[in-house]
Structure formats: structure tokens, C-alpha cells
């Protein structure tokens, strides 16, 4: 007789040690962050370090030996002629930010709270359509509108209104900047106002608040983060804008971006001074972003 042999039960798998499992889980985020981190290092961190090194070399030109020797380039920025350029750049950026906020808030408010819901996405897309064209083409369009024989003055002439001399003036630069960056402000404000708690507006109305009081005490505090984010984005974009001041402003509207361009690609060819100007702008923008991150998430009081 053949003896039946009972099957041997399979040996249970040895559980993975807790230490090895936690180590594997800890490597997951680093593996995911590796490719973008490397990309960021190569295209952002290293170029900024190269610019910083060049900023420490006075009067360096293409082909010269890089030998950092001091802060002479940064001291040169303090000359009155360059301080005026920086102040003009900040003035353009601040004025265009204020214009975009004043024009963009009513538009975003109407789209988010007053327009029919089924049309909101179409209205937002229609408002950002100019961003689908080149900024260079938009600036040339404004040249066609603002030049002495352009569309605007031709329209004014039909009503006997004197011509406006706007092209190659600071006003033309502000018009071009405001037009270019207004869609960004509207998009950010729209996303903020869309989340507005309307029950607070109803409560304010029930408590006797006027529409103006409800706007300043309820709407603005709830959308303050969107206002800060949109203003910072427009300010930073205006700070580094080159096309609008170059094409619409003329020689009298020299800005930091145009000055940096002249140091690298113009007749001056002073890469050290251009790098120091670039570092000043980079530090200013970084400080603004740090302030937004630090204080932008504060819960608004209503």
C-alpha cells in the first residue's frame, strides 16, 4: 500500500522589517523630486550663481578672465543716474499694478458674482484671449493706436478734439504694461472671489450694512489673498518688462531691464555691472515672494 503524504503547508513569507519599509517609504518623495530638482538646479540655481560671480568682477567683458574682486559694481548702482533708473522702474511697476487692480477687481467681481453661471468660463476665456498672442505683437498694435497718425488721434480728429502725444512717453509705457498684465490680475482675483462666502454678505445686509460697508468689511477681507497674489505677480512682471518700455517709451523711459540689456548686448558691454543690476532685481523679487509666503496665508478677519 502506498502511504499518502499530506501536503506540506507553504511557508509564510517573512514580513519585511519595519525599518526597511520605512526607509523605502522615505525615499519615495526624493525619487519624485529628483528630476524637477535637477532641472531647477541646472536652469535656475547655477545661472544665478554665475550671474553673482560675474557681478563681483568690475568691468568684465566677453572673453575676459573671471576673477571676482569686490563689490565695486554694486557701489556703482548707487550713482544718481542709476538710482533714477531703478526708481523709474519701480514707479512703472507700482503704477501698472495699481491700474490693473483698479480695473481688474470690478471685472473679476462681475464675472465671479454677478454674471450668469453658464457664461463664466466663456467670459474668463474671452478676457484672456490677448495672452494667446505675442507680447511683441501687442506692443506694435499699441504703436499703431497711439502714434500721431494712429487710430486714437484719427478718432479724436473726427470730433474736433486735439491730438494726444502719447507715444514715446511714460503714459504709453503704463498703457502697454497695464494692458499686458491685466488678464493675470483678473484671473487671480476671479479665482479668489469665486470662493467668496455669500452668506456673510447676506448676514451683513440683514444687520443693516450698506453695500459699500459690506464690500469693505466682507468682500475685501475675504479676497485679500487674491489681491496680494495678483498684485505681486503684476508687480514682478512689470519690474522685468522689456518690450513695452523699449517700443512704447522711447529714450526717456529707460528702465532697469533696458539698462541690463545694454550692459550685455548693447554698446556698453559691461557684464559685471549688468550682473549686479540683475542680482539686485532678483533679490528684490525674492524678498517680495518671501513676504507673500510669510503673510499671505493669514486668515482674514471679517
Task: Give the mean model confidence (pLDDT) for residues 112-132.
Answer: 84
Dist. CA 104–CA 187, nearest whole Å: 9
Q: What was the pLDDT predicted at 240?
A: 85
Q: What was the pLDDT predicted at 189?
A: 92
- pLDDT (tens digit per residue) in 184-199: 999 999 988 888 877 8
Query: 29-43, 75-89, 222-236, 244-258: which has the minimum mean pLDDT?
Result: 29-43
Q: What was the pLDDT predicted at 84?
A: 92
Task: Give the mean model confidence (pLDDT) for residues 175-183.
Answer: 92
Dist. CA 163–CA 148, nearest whole Å: 7
Q: How confident is the model at residue 105 (pLDDT cuts 50, 70, 90)?
A: very high
Tell the burial category of 128 from Cβ atoms under 10 Å away from its Cβ (0-12, 13-18, 19+): middle
- pLDDT (tens digit per residue) in 239-289: 888 899 989 887 778 889 888 888 888 777 888 888 899 999 888 888 888
Domains along the chain with CATH numbers? 72-295 (1.10.3720.10)
pLDDT at position 3 over 70? no
- pLDDT (tens digit per residue) in 217-229: 888 888 888 898 8
Q: Which one has a higher pLDDT value, 10 or 190?
A: 190
| pTM, full prediction | 0.80
Q: What was the pLDDT predicted at 222?
A: 86
pLDDT at position 5 over 60? no
Q: What percent of the chain has pLDDT over 70?
A: 87
Dist. CA 89–CA 87, nearest whole Å: 5
Phi, psi dihedral angles at 197 (to 5 degrees): -80, 100
Task: Give the mean model confidence (pLDDT) for residues 207-224.
Answer: 84
Query: 50-54, 107-111, 204-208: which has the minimum mean pLDDT?
Result: 204-208
Q: How confident is the model at residue 178 (pLDDT cuts 50, 70, 90)?
A: very high
Q: What was the pLDDT predicted at 8?
A: 54
Q: What was the pLDDT predicted at 159?
A: 85
pLDDT at position 302 over 80? no
Q: Which one has a higher pLDDT value, 171 or 10?
A: 171
pLDDT at position 142 over 80? yes
What is the overall mean pLDDT for the chain? 82
Amino acid at each position: 500500500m502506498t502511504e499518502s503524504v499530506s501536503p506540506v503547508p507553504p511557508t509564510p513569507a517573512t514580513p519585511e522589517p519595519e525599518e526597511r519599509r520605512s526607509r523605502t517609504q522615505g525615499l519615495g518623495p526624493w525619487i519624485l523630486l529628483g528630476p524637477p530638482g535637477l532641472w531647477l538646479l541646472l536652469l535656475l540655481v547655477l545661472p544665478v550663481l554665475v550671474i553673482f560671480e560675474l557681478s563681483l568682477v568690475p568691468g568684465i567683458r566677453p572673453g575676459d578672465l573671471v576673477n571676482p574682486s569686490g563689490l565695486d559694481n554694486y557701489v556703482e548702482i548707487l550713482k544718481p543716474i542709476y538710482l533714477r533708473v531703478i526708481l523709474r522702474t519701480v514707479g512703472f511697476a507700482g503704477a501698472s499694478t495699481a491700474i490693473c487692480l483698479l480695473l481688474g477687481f470690478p471685472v473679476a467681481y462681475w464675472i465671479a458674482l454677478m454674471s450668469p453661471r453658464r457664461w463664466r468660463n466663456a467670459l474668463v476665456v474671452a478676457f484672456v484671449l490677448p495672452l494667446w498672442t505675442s507680447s511683441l505683437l501687442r506692443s506694435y498694435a499699441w504703436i499703431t493706436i497711439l502714434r500721431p497718425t494712429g487710430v486714437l488721434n484719427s478718432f479724436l480728429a473726427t470730433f474736433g478734439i486735439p491730438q494726444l502725444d502719447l507715444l514715446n512717453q511714460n503714459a504709453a509705457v503704463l498703457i502697454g504694461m497695464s494692458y499686458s498684465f491685466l488678464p493675470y490680475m483678473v484671473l487671480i482675483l476671479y479665482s479668489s472671489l469665486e470662493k467668496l462666502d455669500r452668506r456673510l454678505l447676506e448676514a451683513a445686509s440683514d444687520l443693516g450694512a450698506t453695500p459699500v460697508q459690506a464690500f469693505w468689511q466682507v468682500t475685501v477681507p475675504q479676497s485679500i489673498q487674491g489681491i496680494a497674489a495678483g498684485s505681486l505677480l503684476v508687480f514682478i512682471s512689470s519690474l522685468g518688462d522689456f518690450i513695452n518700455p523699449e517700443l512704447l517709451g522711447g529714450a526717456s523711459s529707460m528702465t532697469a531691464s533696458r539698462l541690463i540689456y545694454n550692459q550685455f548686448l548693447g554698446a556698453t558691454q559691461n557684464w559685471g555691472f549688468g550682473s549686479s543690476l540683475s542680482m539686485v532685481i532678483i533679490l528684490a523679487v525674492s524678498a517680495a515672494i518671501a513676504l507673500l509666503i510669510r503673510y499671505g496665508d493669514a486668515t482674514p478677519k471679517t
